[in-house]
Amino acid sequence: MNTDFVQSASVQDLLDRASGLDTEGGDPRLQHILRDLIESVMTLIVKHDISESEFWKAVTFLQQGADEFGLLVPGIGLEHFMDLYMDAKDAEAGRIGGTPRTIEGPLYVADAPIVEGDVDLSQDADDTGTLYMNGAIRGMEGEPVKGALLHVWHANSKGFYSHFDPTGTQSPFNNRRRIRIGDDGRYAFHSRLPSGYSVPPGGAAETLMHALGRHGSRPAHVHFFIEAPGYRTLTTQINFGDDPFAADDFAFGTREGLLPVPNRQGDAAYIAFDFVLQKADQVDDERFSARTRAVA
Ligand SMILES: [Fe+2]
């Protein structure tokens, strides 16, 4: 059978009806996108001659893996693809330069404590070294960004994030802060050194990665949002350039320009890293994406 089957009148009619395109009401954008989505799935069913058993296996996988969608989406490269797509649109519009964006991941928690100065992100003890990170937050002309709020979050030495720690041993907002930046645009923090991590054992993401012959591990990294009046909100992260997974991140979050190699001295690791923000061109630039995020 070839995929022309999907173009047959009966299947095309089914698509119109299933997406609501033959009705008066409904959201037209959603109707057209969903129609294309279902048609794409039908086409791949025919292209790969997917059997009924394989089809239901996939449905069951998605049902049972629903709570790991936040890991599956980066794992299959779609979250990184969104970055590539936004980068390409920016380039078309002449908006180039500045610190690269990269994936947010599913583990941000809103309303972390707001702090100032050279801050300690960690309130929990941890059997690991200390990360010292500092640098400037600048605009494209080199100017210090005024009024910035730097959101920072990272895992502990076991690779677990507060609020998502299966051992239940971390206190709320451990390794999570929002740092209010002064007019000089400088930031500095220290914390218990994070480790890389892997997707939960036995979960949907690991099941899929293993079925693909891949692993589900990430290098040690630190996540950031930076928001500042007049500037484009940046979602990014730095990954440790000397981590064994630095060039092999299952989530595709590592990017050129975001892989500083820590200067390690004993059990201390020092990273100097400057952030460069683009100016906001429109109101939306200063907003966060509408992604649903955890609230403590
Ligand atoms: Fe992460």
Å from CA of 155 to ligand 1 middle: 7
**In-domain check, residue 126:** yes
At 283 the pLDDT is: 85
Cα torsion for 11, 14, 19, 21, to the nearest 10°?
100
Do 223 and 92 belong to one domain?
Answer: yes
At 282 the pLDDT is: 87
Do 91 and 164 belong to one domain?
Answer: yes
Domain containing residue 187: CATH number? 2.60.130.10
At 137 the pLDDT is: 98
Q: What is the DSSP letter of 212?
A: T
Q: How confident is the model over 63-92, as pLDDT tens digits?
A: 999 999 999 999 999 999 999 999 999 999
**In-domain check, residue 59:** no
pTM of the model: 0.95
How far is it between the farthest Cα atoms of the chain? 70
**In-domain check, residue 215:** yes
Do 46 and 75 belong to one domain?
Answer: no
Do 99 and 150 belong to one domain?
Answer: yes
Do 221 and 290 belong to one domain?
Answer: yes
Do 34 and 171 belong to one domain?
Answer: no
**In-domain check, residue 13:** yes
Q: Judge residue 65's burial from the number of C-beta atoms within 10 Å of its C-beta, 0-12 exposed, 13-18 middle, 19 or more buried.
A: middle
Report H helices in 93-242: 204-211
Q: Judge residue 238's burial from the number of C-beta atoms within 10 Å of its C-beta, 0-12 exposed, 13-18 middle, 19 or more buried.
A: buried
At 296 the pLDDT is: 85
Å from CA of 196 to ligand 1 middle: 8
Å from CA of 108 to ligand 1 middle: 8
**In-domain check, residue 57:** no
- Token representation of residue 24: 């008066």
Q: Which domain holds residue 277?
A: 71-295
At 145 the pLDDT is: 98
**In-domain check, residue 62:** no
Q: How confident is the model over 116-165, as pLDDT tens digits?
A: 999 999 999 999 999 999 999 999 999 999 999 999 999 999 999 999 99
Q: Do residues 267 and 130 touch, judged by C-beta distance below 8 A?
A: yes
Count of domains in the chain? 2
The parts of the chain modelled with pLDDT lower than 50 are none
Q: Do residues 175 and 194 touch, judged by C-beta distance below 8 A?
A: yes
Å from CA of 63 to ligand 1 middle: 24
**In-domain check, residue 55:** no
Do 110 and 234 belong to one domain?
Answer: yes
Do 20 and 165 belong to one domain?
Answer: no
Å from CA of 192 to ligand 1 middle: 15
Q: From the CA atom positions of the chain, what is the Rg in Å? A: 22
